[in-house]
Structure 1
Amino acid sequence: MTIQPPAPGEPRRPHGPRDPGDAWVVAPTGERYWGRFGAAGLLAVDPRRGVLLQHRVSWSHFGDTWALPGGARHEGESAPDAALREAAEEAGVPDASVRRRVVSVLDLGYWSYTTLIGDVVVPFEPTISDPESRELAWVPVADVTQYPLHPGFAASWDGLRGLVDVRPTVIVDVANVMGSVPDGWWRDRVGAASRLLARIAELVATGVAASALDLPEHHWYPEWIAVVEGQSRAADDVPGVEVMRAPAVGDDAIVEAAERAVREGRAVTVVTSDRGLAERVTDAAADVRGARWLLDLLEG
């Protein structure tokens, strides 16, 4: 198969057939945007090293500037999946090394660009894995504007910078949420807790709308902590949810978890309908949602 050279400014692909999404979208005013189905990029945030930026090769669109690893979405591909795929292709980012935190979308009507902000949970060294990267570097957040940035990234940076420090965490009082539904949970506390944890894990994958957490208007993937006590401590672990097994009183463990998360600078929401516990975590600077709030999310 003969690989045709790209048109001027068109991103190159190292090999393989061209995806239908690899095409320009022309705006009514004449500007061109790469990605027939839109485009997406990853803003990977490492707590020690900063954010991962890509120095684009000179022949690319707005070449020799710095931006995020990213590119055109494939047909039917979700934007977060596209961001992670492109980051793996262009910077060797292992998918399991990044935990999704928030999705920010620039939607022009005829074209969109989605930025996935993700936390590095397993440190890695980026590698130049295709011809579109000239250099890859971890850049301290405060130093990003000192680089010659891609115009699109430069225009969005202020908004993205405001999201970098917002880290939502939801702490669930499992016993209280279980007790709010008369489904016979008292006959099998372990099974009921395991089922609830499995349903919470679904929210880990789908994320939560900003309106549900009073956060900036984006789509969020909060960290989930589920506190279990008594017999429910034998419940199964589930992917993406930190299951905290309270050694004694569950309320005390929830307050301690909320206080610790607040000290770490997280935006904390505790799910409980227990008034006494709600007062204690409110004093710790956490927000409170009742059990019905979580059940509505799960049913929705």
Structure 2
Amino acid sequence: MTIEPLAPGEPRRPHGPRDPGDAWVVAPTGERYWGRFGAAGLLAIDAERGVLLQHRVSWSHFGDTWALPGGARHEGESACDGALREASEEAGVPDAAVQPRVLSVFDLGYWSYTTVVGDVVRPFEPVISDPESRELAWVPVADVTEYPLHPGFAASWQGLRSLLDVRPAVIVDVANVMGSVPDGWWNDRAGAASRLISRIAELAARGVPASALELPEHTWYPEWTAVVEGQARSVAAAGAVGVDVVPAEASGDDAIAATAQRAVAAGRSATVVTSDRGLAERARDAGAAVRGARWLLDLLG
């Protein structure tokens, strides 16, 4: 979280407004916060190198400190899109290089800052592509507090740090969820599976509330896996953005149980979506939580 109240007599940034969002919000107590529509920053996590930090230029508020690439959101822009855009502008983060995992929001009512915690899925080297960056560096998680941090980021770091070890994954028994809705799926199993997976992809893009996954109170972006079997296996070739589609070579239940075991072994907080009692028992034995088909259908809306 990077909070930038303007101190009395402090000059404005040396460049002019780039967007209507590039303006100060004045608090009832007189402090000013950058971003008419709020602000957002990216906490990118590379499994090998740590987190990406930005060494701020001296003319910025609390200059020469370290924080996250981020800045003012555009009007109508989501916090996630704003954080990724700012990270691209300030640190050269390539499109699709980071997969959001969780959104952490600091909300004052009249202004908010959203930290997008995301996993690096395509390794990259950051590039100084904006005058607001003096230096960019991958910093091991354990070493972050050794740097002179921006006060706002320093205040939020421990809370953000606690989220880094939480990695939710949802594994969907597609056949079971399809079968819970008598909409004629039996006439076209592949088509019904494709439609369901498309809806899951939409859910993957907008995130899941913490209450649905019994996780810390934030918006989460789980790793989604849809297991298909029988005639529906053909949809795996088409794939889906944000959803890993796994065709079961034999028993769908066996494939789902094995996927759950692998997820738990990899440190994921795994949830299996099925209303099949036998499979639910196997999933729990593997260390996964279980939700019925109605749970997913309610989330899909």
TM-score computed with the length of structure 1 as normaliser: 0.94
* Structure 2 Cα separation of the partners of residues 213 and 189 of structure 1: 28
Matched, 1:188 2:225: no
Describe the SS at the equivalent of 2:148: coil
In the alignment, which of 262, 282, 285 is matched to residue 284 of structure 2?
282
1:262 aligns with 2:264: yes
CA contact (8 A) 1:103 1:220 kept: yes
The separation in 2 between residues aligned to 1:19 and 1:185, in whole angstroms, is 48
State the partner residue of 1:211: 211
**Aligned equivalent of 2:48:** 48
Deviation of the 1:8 alpha carbon: 3.9
Query: Which residue in the other structure is 1:57 paired with?
Result: 57
Total equivalences in the alignment: 291
What's the CA shift string for 1:96-137, capped at 9, x where partnerless? 101111101000112110000111000000000011000000
CA apart distance, 1:53: 0.3
Distance 1:294 1:11 in 2: 47
> After superposition, where does 1:193-272 map in structure 2 within 5 Å?
193-235=193-235, 236-272=238-274
What amino acid is aligned across from residue 293 of structure 2 in structure 1? A
Equivalences for 1:140-179 in 2 at 5 Å?
Answer: 140-179=140-179
Structure-1 separation of matches of 2:209 and 2:262: 25
Give yes or no for contact 1:180–1:291 (8 Å, CA) kept in 2: yes
3-state DSSP of counterpart to 1:203: helix
The offset of 1:26, in angstroms, is 2.1
| One-letter amino acid of the structure 2 residue matched with residue 162 of structure 1 | S
For 1:96 and 1:163, the matched residues in 2 are separated by 21
Residue of structure 2 equivalent to 1:100: 100
Is the CA contact (8 Å cut-off) linking 1:12 and 1:131 kept in structure 2?
no
Q: Which amino acid aligns with 1:114?
A: T
Task: Render the CA deviation track for 1:68-109: whole Å, top value 9, x for unaligned.
Answer: 000011111111111001000000001210111110100011
Alignment-mate amino acid for residue 261 of structure 1: A
Offset from partner CA, 1:184-237 (integer Å, 9 cap, x none): 111111111111111111111111111111010000111100001111101132
Once residues 257 and 82 of structure 1 are traced to their aligned partners in structure 2, the CA distance between those partners, rounded to angstroms, is: 34
**1-structure distance, mates of 2:14, 2:197:** 44
Match of 2:81 in 1: 81
What is the CA distance between 1:269 and its match in structure 2?
0.5
User: 1:270–1:286: 8 Å Cα contact kept in structure 2?
Assistant: yes
Q: Normalised by the size of structure 2, how large is the TM-score?
A: 0.94
Distance (whole Å) between structure 2 residues aligned to residue 45 and residue 129 of structure 1: 20
CA RMSD of aligned residues (A): 1.2
Aligned partner of 2:128: which letter? I
Aligned 8 A contact 1:204 1:221 in 2 = yes
Q: What's the CA shift for 1:25? A: 1.6
Partner of 2:293: 291
Deviation at 1:29, TM superposition (A): 2.4
How far apart in 1 are the matches of 2:246 and 2:254?
Answer: 12
Which residue number corresponds to residue 3 of structure 1? none
Specify the code of the residue in structure 2 equivalent to 1:135. Answer: E
Displaced runs of 4+ in structure 1, greater than 6 A?
none
| 1:57/1:133 contact within 8 Å kept | yes
For structure 1, the 5+ residue unaligned runs are 1-6
Which letter does structure 2 place at the counterpart of 1:152?
G
Q: How much identity, in percent, do the aligned residues show?
A: 78
- Could you tell me whether the CA contact under 8 Å between 1:12 and 1:132 is conserved in 2? no
Q: Which residue of 2 aligns with 1:27?
A: 27
Contact 1:9 1:62 (C-alpha < 8 Å) held by counterparts: no
- SS state at 1:18 partner: coil
Question: C-alpha separation between the residues in 1 aligned to 2:283 and 2:53?
Answer: 38
